[in-house]
Structure 1
Amino acid sequence: MIGKQKVIAIIPARGGSKRLPRKNVLNLAGKPLISWTIDAAKECKYIDEILVSTDDREISNIALQHGVHMPELRPSHLSSDSATTESLLLYCLEQYEIDANIIVLLQPTSPLRSALDIEKSLEYYIEKSAKSVVTVTQCEHSPLWANILPEDFNMGRFIPEKNTKRYQELPVFYRLNGAIYIFDIDTFKVCGMKYSKDSYAYLMDNESSIDIDTELDFKFADFLLNERVSYYAKS
């Protein structure tokens, strides 16, 4: 609970994954990928309840081993490639009669997001009197130095002259990192995941913003998490 408001964390985790099969249960630095997110949610001092939504029995068993609420396996229509996160959250709110004021959406593909990240983003949500907060990180490469290419791969118009500056002179861009989404439940029921004047960005560092989509992402996250585990074991 934070500011007299009850907080529920919802962790959506499908069993299927096109680019990295079964990624949510793959062993990452000693435990299943999804376990990193469950543990971060459990360690967060503001979260009152955790709910894992999945269509997969193995993921369900992992959640239950962590003592996490698992009301049912997710219906098939909410597990297809076309199903949206917004529709899943609305289903959870309606189906399970959730007694909370704030939803924290935590995707399991962000294993380096810590309990402290969640706590600080919730504190920021309260500080800003926000209706929603979404985490972002600074773009690793400026989008002003990116473009589509014609069929012949000609570079003549690739970068407009106004953008041919030193990197330090370019404006700073930010991107969604998918790590944490926070919503006022009453507002979410009406507006969904749309941004409004009461939506704010919470900045996270690049390392904690790694989002696992490919095998390369997975290997990089595994390396970084093993480094963290080793560091804390020595300290």
Structure 2
Amino acid sequence: MDIVAIVPARGGSKRLPRKNVLPLAGKPLIQWTLDAAKESGAIDLIVVTSDDEEVLAIAEQNQVMAIRRPDYLSTDTATSVDAVIHALDALEAQNIVAKRVMLLQPTSPLRRAEDIRKAVKRMDDCGAASVISVCEMDHSPLWSNTLPEDGRMDDFIRPEVKEKRSQDLPLYYRLNGSIYLIATNMFRQNKSFFVTPCNSVVMEKGLSQDIDDKNDFLLAEFMLSSIVF
């Protein structure tokens, strides 16, 4: 098949316990990602990988594939790359092979189906090996720096930036953690989503909320109550 979407959703979370199943604007956090993936029409198979019974049950209720993740891939130090490789191995053991793999983290509930479609179209149009979602930064990194122990700011801002207005500075973008799309063979070879040629899909800043703690969760709930999805 062409595209398999992997949704990694382990049960543990220290900063926001049980976050993947917490009710957000009327449905579990992970449900927002599953709905967007299904609505996109761009994905051949959706796979949820988790060590958590409730998460796996939600996957089965949505009629998407559920893969039980082993304990060693369910710790705080386990990476998304490791989880995706395990899922791909489990699929290939069932003779399911995908040309491309997409990582959709459930902590990005404001991601829309159209964003997923745009990522696929970008890869198809430009022939990139990988496509990663980004959004415009709230504040230019040119106005930021480290601080010495004494707190002095004599050289905090470079001279050529000091007198410029924010609108005169170049636009900077950041990873928003929402969409990672890559050719499966390149992902396996490099064990990374950053494989050249790599291209971007730009998402709206307001839709790039990442759920890491309670404040993020409350902000996403406010956004979802204010936006028509």
Relative to the length of structure 2, the TM-score reads: 0.93
- Shift of residue 115, structure 1, vs aligned partner: 0.8
Do the aligned partners of 2:136 and 2:205 also contact (CA within 8 Å) in 1? yes
Residues 49-58 or 191-200, more deviating: 191-200
Equivalent in the alignment of 2:64? 68
Secondary structure at the counterpart of residue 159 of structure 1: coil
Distance in 2 separating the partners of 1:171 and 1:226: 32
- Tell whether 2:55 aligns with 1:56: no
- Tell whether 2:73 aligns with 1:95: no
- Shift of residue 194, structure 1, vs aligned partner: 5.0
Cα RMSD of the aligned pairs, angstroms, is: 1.4
Cα deviations by residue, 1:59-100 (Å, 9 ceiling, x for unpaired): 1111111111113x2111111122111122112112220321
Equivalent in the alignment of 1:152? 150
How many residues end up aligned between the 2 structures?
Answer: 225
Distance in 2 separating the partners of 1:101 and 1:85: 19
Unaligned residue ranges in structure 1 (runs of 5+)? none
Alignment of 1:150-189 (within 5 A): 150-164=148-162, 165-189=164-188
Alignment of 1:1-235 (within 5 A): 6-71=2-67, 73-97=68-92, 98-164=96-162, 165-193=164-192, 195-228=194-227, 231=228
Residues 159-168 or 107-116, more deviating: 159-168
Residues 147-156 or 94-103, more deviating: 147-156
Residues 5-14 or 154-163, more deviating: 154-163
Do the aligned partners of 2:6 and 2:101 also contact (CA within 8 Å) in 1? yes
Residue type matched to 2:62 in 1? H
Relative to the length of structure 1, the TM-score reads: 0.91
Unaligned residue ranges in structure 2 (runs of 5+)? none
Distance in 2 separating the partners of 1:193 and 1:211: 20
Distance in 2 separating the partners of 1:192 and 1:52: 19
